[in-house]
Protein backbone atom coordinates (compact mmCIF):
# COMPACT_ATOMS: atom_id res chain seq x y z
CA UNK A 1 0.00 0.00 0.00
CA UNK A 2 1.37 3.41 -1.06
CA UNK A 3 1.25 6.49 1.11
CA UNK A 4 1.66 8.60 -1.98
CA UNK A 5 0.05 12.04 -2.08
CA UNK A 6 -3.10 11.87 -4.20
CA UNK A 7 -4.58 14.81 -6.08
CA UNK A 8 -8.28 15.46 -5.44
CA UNK A 9 -10.75 13.79 -7.79
CA UNK A 10 -12.87 16.94 -8.15
CA UNK A 11 -11.61 18.81 -11.26
CA UNK A 12 -11.84 22.26 -9.64
CA UNK A 13 -9.92 21.19 -6.54
CA UNK A 14 -7.38 19.43 -8.77
CA UNK A 15 -6.94 22.65 -10.77
CA UNK A 16 -6.46 24.67 -7.59
CA UNK A 17 -4.03 22.16 -6.06
CA UNK A 18 -1.85 21.96 -9.17
CA UNK A 19 -1.74 25.74 -9.54
CA UNK A 20 -1.08 26.24 -5.81
CA UNK A 21 1.92 23.90 -6.06
CA UNK A 22 3.08 25.81 -9.13
CA UNK A 23 2.82 29.06 -7.14
CA UNK A 24 4.84 27.54 -4.30
CA UNK A 25 7.53 26.54 -6.81
CA UNK A 26 7.62 30.03 -8.31
CA UNK A 27 7.75 31.56 -4.82
CA UNK A 28 10.72 29.38 -3.89
CA UNK A 29 12.54 30.41 -7.08
CA UNK A 30 11.85 34.07 -6.33
CA UNK A 31 13.09 33.66 -2.74
CA UNK A 32 16.27 31.97 -3.94
CA UNK A 33 16.76 34.72 -6.52
CA UNK A 34 16.27 37.48 -3.93
CA UNK A 35 18.74 35.91 -1.52
CA UNK A 36 21.26 34.98 -4.21
CA UNK A 37 21.28 38.43 -5.87
CA UNK A 38 21.27 40.27 -2.51
CA UNK A 39 18.57 42.74 -3.54
CA UNK A 40 18.58 45.74 -1.22
CA UNK A 41 21.29 44.12 0.89
CA UNK A 42 18.65 41.66 2.11
CA UNK A 43 20.98 38.65 2.25
CA UNK A 44 23.44 40.62 4.37
CA UNK A 45 20.71 41.77 6.74
CA UNK A 46 19.15 38.31 7.09
CA UNK A 47 22.36 36.45 7.77
CA UNK A 48 23.65 39.15 10.14
CA UNK A 49 20.58 38.80 12.38
CA UNK A 50 20.56 36.72 15.56
CA UNK A 51 18.03 34.27 14.12
CA UNK A 52 18.24 34.24 10.29
CA UNK A 53 15.57 31.56 10.01
CA UNK A 54 12.75 33.86 11.16
CA UNK A 55 13.08 36.52 8.40
CA UNK A 56 13.54 33.81 5.78
CA UNK A 57 10.37 32.03 6.89
CA UNK A 58 8.43 35.31 7.01
CA UNK A 59 9.56 36.24 3.49
CA UNK A 60 8.85 32.74 2.19
CA UNK A 61 5.33 32.68 3.66
CA UNK A 62 4.53 36.09 2.19
CA UNK A 63 5.84 35.06 -1.23
CA UNK A 64 3.94 31.76 -1.17
CA UNK A 65 0.67 33.44 -0.22
CA UNK A 66 1.07 36.12 -2.88
CA UNK A 67 2.36 34.06 -5.80
CA UNK A 68 0.22 30.97 -5.18
CA UNK A 69 -2.84 33.23 -5.05
CA UNK A 70 -1.86 34.91 -8.31
CA UNK A 71 -1.33 31.60 -10.11
CA UNK A 72 -4.57 30.12 -8.74
CA UNK A 73 -6.53 33.28 -9.56
CA UNK A 74 -5.23 33.42 -13.11
CA UNK A 75 -6.15 29.75 -13.61
CA UNK A 76 -9.68 30.43 -12.37
CA UNK A 77 -10.04 33.50 -14.59
CA UNK A 78 -8.93 31.52 -17.63
CA UNK A 79 -11.52 28.76 -17.10
CA UNK A 80 -14.05 30.25 -19.53
CA UNK A 81 -11.54 31.01 -22.29
CA UNK A 82 -11.57 29.07 -25.53
CA UNK A 83 -8.19 27.49 -26.18
CA UNK A 84 -7.87 28.44 -29.86
CA UNK A 85 -9.62 31.81 -29.79
CA UNK A 86 -6.50 33.47 -31.21
CA UNK A 87 -5.58 37.12 -31.03
CA UNK A 88 -6.54 37.78 -27.45
CA UNK A 89 -6.82 41.34 -26.32
CA UNK A 90 -9.44 43.21 -24.37
CA UNK A 91 -12.22 43.38 -26.96
CA UNK A 92 -14.95 40.96 -26.07
CA UNK A 93 -18.68 40.72 -26.63
CA UNK A 94 -19.37 44.27 -25.37
CA UNK A 95 -18.22 45.59 -28.76
CA UNK A 96 -21.26 44.00 -30.38
CA UNK A 97 -23.46 46.31 -28.27
CA UNK A 98 -22.19 49.33 -30.20
CA UNK A 99 -22.16 47.91 -33.71
CA UNK A 100 -24.41 49.81 -36.07
CA UNK A 101 -25.00 52.65 -33.60
CA UNK A 102 -23.42 56.05 -34.03
CA UNK A 103 -21.89 57.55 -30.93
CA UNK A 104 -23.02 61.11 -30.30
CA UNK A 105 -21.64 63.62 -27.81
CA UNK A 106 -23.91 64.66 -24.96
CA UNK A 107 -23.98 68.40 -24.24
CA UNK A 108 -23.16 69.24 -20.62
CA UNK A 109 -23.76 72.69 -19.14
CA UNK A 110 -20.72 74.12 -17.38
CA UNK A 111 -20.99 76.91 -14.82
CA UNK A 112 -18.20 79.12 -13.65
CA UNK A 113 -17.56 79.26 -9.91
CA UNK A 114 -17.86 82.54 -8.11
CA UNK A 115 -14.41 83.63 -6.96
CA UNK A 116 -14.12 84.64 -3.32
CA UNK A 117 -11.98 87.45 -2.12
CA UNK A 118 -9.45 86.95 0.64
CA UNK A 119 -11.49 89.24 2.88
CA UNK A 120 -14.55 87.01 2.49
CA UNK A 121 -12.59 83.95 3.63
CA UNK A 122 -11.28 85.71 6.73
CA UNK A 123 -14.79 86.67 7.96
In a domain, 50, yes or no: yes
Query: pLDDT of 50-73, one tens digit each?
Result: 999 999 999 999 999 999 999 999
How much is the mean pLDDT over the chain?
Answer: 82
Q: Is residue 45 part of a domain?
A: yes
User: Using one digit for the tens of pLDDT, what is the confidence trace for 10-47?
Assistant: 888 888 999 999 999 999 999 999 999 999 999 999 99
Residue ranges making up the domain that contains 51: 8-78
What's the structural domain count of the chain? Answer: 1
Q: What is the pTM of this model?
A: 0.60
Kindly write down the DSSP assignment for every residue of the chain, as one continuous string.
Answer: ---PPPPPSSHHHHHHHHHHHHHHHHHHHHHHHHHHHTGGGHHHHHHHSS-THHHHHHHHHHHHHHHHHHHHHHHHHTTT--TT--S-SS--GGGGGTTT-----------PPPPPPHHHHH-
Specify if 92 maps to a domain: no
Amino acid sequence: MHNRLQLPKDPLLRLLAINALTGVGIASLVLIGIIWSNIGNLRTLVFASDNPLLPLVMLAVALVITLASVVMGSAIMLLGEKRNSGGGGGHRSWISLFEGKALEPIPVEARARAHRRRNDLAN
